[in-house]
Amino acid sequence: MVRLGLALGLLLLLAGSCQKKPPVARIPSLTLSEAQASSLLRLSMDCVDKPWPNKPGHILDGDETLKPPSVLTPAFYGCFDWHSAVHGHWAMVRVLALFPSLPESSELRVKLSAHLQPDRIAQEVAFFSASRNRTFERPYGIGWLLRLSAELHSLAQRDEDAKRWLLALRPLTELLAQRLSEYLSRLTVPVRSGTHDNTAYAMIHALDYAQATQNEAFARLLMERALTFYQADRRCPVAYEPSGEDFISPCLVEADLMRRVMTQSDFARWLQDFLPAVDSPAFDRLRAPVEVRDLRDPRIGHLIGLSFQRAAALRGLAKALSAQPDTAQKLSQIADKHTRTALAQIKESGYGGTHWLASFALYLLTNVGL
């Protein structure tokens, strides 16, 4: 059954279903305007060249390794840390793809051309190739790098600049895709945390990359690993969510991954055993946005991102449950509440939030993965 499900899932992932599907309940009405896109885009543009403050996160094993991030990783050194710089670049590419005529587009192209050039990427490859950096940004940052590559791959079909950026990024993309493949193949059980180490969250990015680039071998590995890690899961402990500094819902992100690797009917059955009914009291912990008592605390402020991630996952579940329009509509309404709450909080979060929250907002508002 697992092999059959894997084969069917891969077919749907890479080729799309030709079956007629029932109408989907309307996804939340919140859409991204050009003005809002400009506002969110500016948060990423303003930090990709900002070297300090910075939280490097890599291992130092000698005086010669103690160098500024702008030297060690000259493509992705701003926005406080490597992974935020990466998804800041993704945000810029995503907005450029959707709103090519924004007033910021010229400045945006200059920044992307400066960062995504062969010599800078070669230094990134050298950094990641050092044995001491074998686990650096695994899996979160790697997942976002693959998301950036997928976005460039799509834009390159119609944009000459994007073709150059994609070609320049390719050596790093190939290195990190292989590194993630090897890691997942060795991993016995997934990491179910609500922060950067979460396995399912990175696998979502990787699957979408595999689909965009038609990398069938990578897609097969990811789907097999997803089914091995999660297919037998039942009764996710939503009562324990969230932890105080989460920006990922362990239960919702797992469901968001599984909708991508199972047929619609199989997923509906699996979800029934995995999450409580949306109308039940047991779902209450996922229903309301979490109170954030200090928006400017960079760790407590993770909870702002949690609302964005929950909303994106809930929208994905609503789409997957289109055959159950009442449930899908309720999930969409909950997603809408999380979205509005998080959008109202970004501007009060300080640099500890703005350096990364724009990416999460744009991921949601531009319907990635839907």
Specify burial of residue 248 (Cβ count, 10 A radius: 0-12, 13-18, 19+): buried
pLDDT value of residue 31: 82
Per-residue confidence at 10, pLDDT binned at 50, 70, 90?
A: low
**Does any domain span residue 291?**
yes
Per-residue confidence at 15, pLDDT binned at 50, 70, 90?
A: very low
Q: Which residue has the higher pLDDT, 345 or 22?
A: 345
Q: What number is the average pLDDT over the span 72-101?
A: 98
**Does any domain span residue 285?**
yes
Q: Say whether pLDDT at 22 is over 80.
A: no
Q: What number is the average pLDDT over the span 91-110?
A: 97
Percent of the chain predicted with pLDDT > 70: 92
Angstrom distance (rounded) from CA 65 to CA 127: 10
Q: What number is the average pLDDT over the span 206-231?
A: 98
Q: Say whether pLDDT at 30 is over 60.
A: yes
**Does any domain span residue 223?**
no
Q: Say whether pLDDT at 107 is over 80.
A: yes
Q: Hunting for tokens 């979460």 — which residue is that?
A: 198
Q: What number is the average pLDDT over the span 274-303?
A: 97
Q: What number is the average pLDDT over the span 238-242?
A: 97
Angstrom distance (rounded) from CA 220 to CA 13: 10
**Does any domain span residue 13?**
no
**Does any domain span residue 92?**
no
**Does any domain span residue 287?**
yes
Residue 341 has which token pair? Answer: 């709450």
Q: Tell me, letter by letter, the H, E, C secondary structure of the chain.
A: CHHHHHHHHHHHHHHCCCCCCCCCCCCCCCCCCHHHHHHHHHHHHCCCCCCCCCCCCCCCCCHHHCCCHHHHCCCCCCCCCHHHHHHHHHHHHHHHHHCCCCCCHHHHHHHHHHHCCHHHHHHHHHHHHCHHHCCCCCCHHHHHHHHHHHHHHHHCCCCHHHHHHHHHHHHHHHHHHHHHHHHHHHCCCCCCCCCCCCHHHHHHHHHHHHHHHCCHHHHHHHHHHHHHHHCCCCCCCHHHCCCCCCCCCHHHHHHHHHHHHCCHHHHHHHHHHHCCCCCCHHHHHHHCCCCCCCCCCCCCCHHHHHHHHHHHHHHHHHHHCCCCHHHHHHHHHHHHHHHHHHHHHHCCCCHHHHHHHHHHHHHHHCCCCC
Q: What number is the average pLDDT over the span 15-42?
A: 66
pLDDT value of residue 208: 98
**Does any domain span residue 245?**
yes
pLDDT value of residue 3: 46
Please report, in angstroms and rounded to a whole number, the separation of the first and last CA atoms in the chain.
Answer: 27
Average pLDDT of the chain is 93
Q: Say whether pLDDT at 249 is over 70.
A: yes
Q: Say whether pLDDT at 288 is over 50.
A: yes
Q: What is the pLDDT of residues 306-361, one digit of tens each?
A: 999 999 999 999 999 999 999 999 999 999 999 999 999 999 999 999 999 999 99
Q: Say whether pLDDT at 258 is over 50.
A: yes
**Does any domain span residue 279?**
yes
Q: Say whether pLDDT at 51 is over 80.
A: yes
Q: What residue numbers bound the domain in which 318 lies?
A: 231-370
Residue 21 has which token pair? Answer: 């599907």
Q: How many domains does the chain have?
A: 1
Q: Say whether pLDDT at 11 is over 70.
A: no
pLDDT value of residue 185: 98
C-alpha torsion sign, points 310, 312, 317, 322: positive
